């Protein structure tokens, strides 16, 4: 099955980087998969296309709308997972790429209570920071330099972590917000 340029306006090679949101049968966001995996799920009858763009995937005998959101045909029990550990990408996503100290554009993460002073690498101790503020703070406490946090850090919702894995498509917002 191929995606043709006239269908999408994109090069054929772009199909390998496209991502599709997969929802459980209960419409709860599960994961993000490649376009290839999404087509496999649809063709094997394990998922249905819920949202698609105008492009078509074509083979010799079959045409399929290019999926953006899939819903599984059967409910999949997801075992309980504790809190997802904070990564640079997910912390920046949670804080909307804004520095917790000066509200400028953030490109690094900072530990509010520095690790050198016993601070843990957990959601409530990690914030997004610009390089300038991160360098100026160094391994000092906020009280030592007279700084305050704009917002108290907390663990994000699962949908924020899911959308941080890839650049979310606009059609995903209705499903990730729920």
Q: How far apart are the C-alpha atoms of 120 and 124, rounded to whole Å?
A: 9
Q: Read off the pLDDT of each residue in 156-167 and give the average, rounded to a whole number.
A: 60
- pLDDT confidence of residue 11: 45
Percent of the chain beyond pLDDT 70?
Answer: 82
pLDDT digits (tens, 9 = 90+) for 8-29: 444 445 555 788 999 999 998 8
Q: How far apart are the C-alpha atoms of 11 and 32, rounded to whole Å?
A: 22
The structure's pTM equals: 0.56
pLDDT digits (tens, 9 = 90+) for 130-157: 999 999 999 999 999 999 998 899 988 6
Among 69, 70, 54, CA closest to 8: 54
- pLDDT confidence of residue 6: 42
CB atoms within 10 A of CB 90: 21
The residues spanned by each domain of the chain are 2-79+166-176, 88-145
| 111, pLDDT greater than 50 | yes
Hey, is 131 helix, strand or coil?
helix
Q: What are phi and psi of 135, to 5 degrees?
A: -70, -40
Q: How far apart are the C-alpha atoms of 56 and 65, rounded to whole Å?
A: 4
């Amino acid at each position: 099955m191929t995606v043709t340029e006239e269908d999408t306006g994109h090069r054929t090679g772009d199909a390998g980087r496209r991502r599709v949101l997969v929802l459980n049968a209960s419409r709860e966001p599960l994961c993000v998969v490649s376009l290839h995996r999404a087509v496999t799920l649809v063709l094997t009858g394990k998922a249905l296309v819920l949202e698609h763009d105008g492009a078509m995937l074509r083979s010799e005998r079959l045409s399929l709308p290019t999926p953006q959101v899939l819903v599984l045909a059967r409910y999949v029990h997801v075992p309980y997972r504790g809190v997802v550990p904070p990564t640079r990408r997910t912390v920046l996503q949670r804080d909307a790429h804004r520095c917790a100290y000066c509200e400028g554009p953030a490109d690094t993460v900072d530990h509010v209570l520095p690790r050198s002073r016993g601070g843990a690498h957990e959601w409530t101790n990690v914030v997004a920071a610009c390089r300038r503020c991160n360098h100026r703070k160094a391994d000092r406490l906020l009280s030592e330099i007279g700084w305050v946090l704009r917002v108290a850090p907390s663990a994000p919702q699962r949908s924020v972590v899911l959308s941080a894995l890839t650049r979310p498509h606009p059609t995903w917002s209705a499903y990730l917000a729920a």
